[in-house]
């Protein structure tokens, strides 16, 4: 087995164990435990495997891409923002969610992944929900700001990528897979939903939280990777 495979497997086991332990009390504790497991796995990497990366505060090219997240991550971001922002700022966030979702829904399906739209949590080029951001946002990193800019300038070209640190990427992927495994084993919805449309549904429909607890499909309107009617989204996670 290669070192990278071993890293991913170890991270997946850590994420699954932490997720399962947290689920004994609540889904939010499962996510918190998984995040701590992620931090521990990242800290265990040799320094050269962790950076330096090109990402800097205020650089937000990647925050214009589509993000996929499980329901526990969607609720965690929402709860974090509701607690952290004052009433006026939270209202602005809610308006941005609905405005961005309307823009997404107005797009032809083949354009959903190929348009730059700022995440509603983005304020003055920074994530206002940084500590509560989804795992895919935590995983996203780049070794080249030029590659990110190029991708941003040509959103229609899904082949444009950016260089990443393979060990870092494997650890993130492993922990994410571990959380999905823990949720699935506990009968909770572990689907990946498009973040903005899921946030909109969570805000508009309080029964979404009840559905998570009941082990049902949480979001019925949000875009997903596995919905056979969403051909545009099936093609992949953020560029």
- State phi, psi for 84 to the nearest 5 degrees: -85, -35
Which of 23/31 has CB closer to ligand SF4? Answer: 31
Lookup: tokens for 179: 């959380």
Which window, 20-28, 79-87, 101-109, 115-123, contacts ligand SF4 (CB under 6 A)? 115-123
3-state secondary structure 36-103: HHHHHHHHCCCHHHCCCCCCCCCCCHHHHCCCEECHHHHHHHHHHHHHHCCHHHHHHHHHHHHHHHHH
Which of 7/85 has CB closer to ligand SF4? Answer: 85
Which of 133/141 has CB closer to ligand SF4? Answer: 133
Q: Does the footprint of ligand SF4 cover residue 133 (CB under 6 A)? A: yes
Q: How far is the CB of 3 from ligand SF4 (least distance, A)?
A: 29
Indicate which single residue of 137, 148, 218, 233 sits in contact with ligand SF4 (rule: CB under 6 A): 137
Distance CA 29, CA 222 (A): 24
Q: Does the footprint of ligand SF4 cover residue 15 (CB under 6 A)? A: no
Residues 6 or more apart whose CB falls under 8 angstroms from that of 70 comprise 179, 180, 183, 189, 190, 191, 192, 193
Please answer whether residues 215 and 189 qualify as being in contact, where contact means their C-beta atoms are separated by less than 8 angstroms: yes
Q: Does the footprint of ligand SF4 cover residue 119 (CB under 6 A)? A: yes
Q: How far is the CB of 57 from ligand SF4 (least distance, A)?
A: 11
Q: Does the footprint of ligand SF4 cover residue 78 (CB under 6 A)? A: no
Q: Does the footprint of ligand SF4 cover residue 74 (CB under 6 A)? A: no
Q: Does the footprint of ligand SF4 cover residue 121 (CB under 6 A)? A: yes
Alpha helix positions (H), the chain:
3-23, 27-43, 71-84, 87-106, 135-139, 145-153, 166-185, 195-204, 207-214, 231-234
Q: Does the footprint of ligand SF4 cover residue 160 (CB under 6 A)? A: no
Distance CA 146, CA 59 (A): 11
Which of 71/129 has CB closer to ligand SF4? Answer: 129
Find the binding residues for ligand SF4 in span 41-70 (CB under 6 A): 63, 67
Q: Does the footprint of ligand SF4 cover residue 129 (CB under 6 A)? A: yes
Q: How far is the CB of 179 from ligand SF4 (least distance, A)?
A: 17
Which window, 22-30, 34-42, 106-114, 117-125, contacts ligand SF4 (CB under 6 A)? 117-125
Q: How far is CA 210 from CA 149, 202, 207, 214, in A?
A: 41, 11, 5, 6
Q: Which residues are near ligand SF4 by CB under 6 A?
A: 63, 67, 119, 121-122, 127, 129, 133, 137
């Amino acid at each position: 087995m290669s070192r990278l495979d071993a890293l991913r497997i170890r991270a997946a086991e850590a994420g699954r164990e932490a997720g399962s332990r947290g689920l004994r009390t609540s889904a939010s504790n499962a996510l918190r435990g998984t995040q701590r497991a992620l931090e521990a796995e990242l800290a265990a990497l040799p320094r050269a495997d962790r950076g330096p990366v090109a990402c800097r505060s205020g650089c937000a090219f990647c925050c214009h891409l589509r993000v996929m997240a499980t329901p526990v991550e969607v609720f965690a971001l929402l709860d974090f923002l509701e607690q952290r922002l004052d009433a006026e700022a939270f209202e602005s966030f809610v308006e941005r969610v609905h405005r961005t979702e309307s823009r997404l829904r107005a797009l032809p399906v083949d354009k959903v992944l190929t348009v730059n739209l700022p995440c509603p949590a983005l304020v003055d080029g920074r994530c206002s929900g940084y500590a509560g951001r989804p795992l895919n946002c935590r995983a996203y990193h780049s070794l080249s700001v030029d590659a990110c800019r190029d991708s941003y300038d040509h959103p229609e070209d899904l082949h444009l990528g950016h260089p990443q640190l393979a060990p870092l990427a494997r650890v993130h992927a492993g922990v994410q897979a571990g959380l999905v495994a823990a949720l699935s084993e506990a009968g909770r919805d572990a689907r990946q939903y498009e973040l903005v449309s899921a946030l909109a549904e969570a805000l508009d429909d309080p029964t979404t939280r009840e559905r998570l607890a009941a082990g049902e499909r949480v979001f019925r309107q949000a875009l997903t990777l596995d919905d056979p009617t969403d051909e545009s989204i099936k093609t992949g996670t953020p560029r």
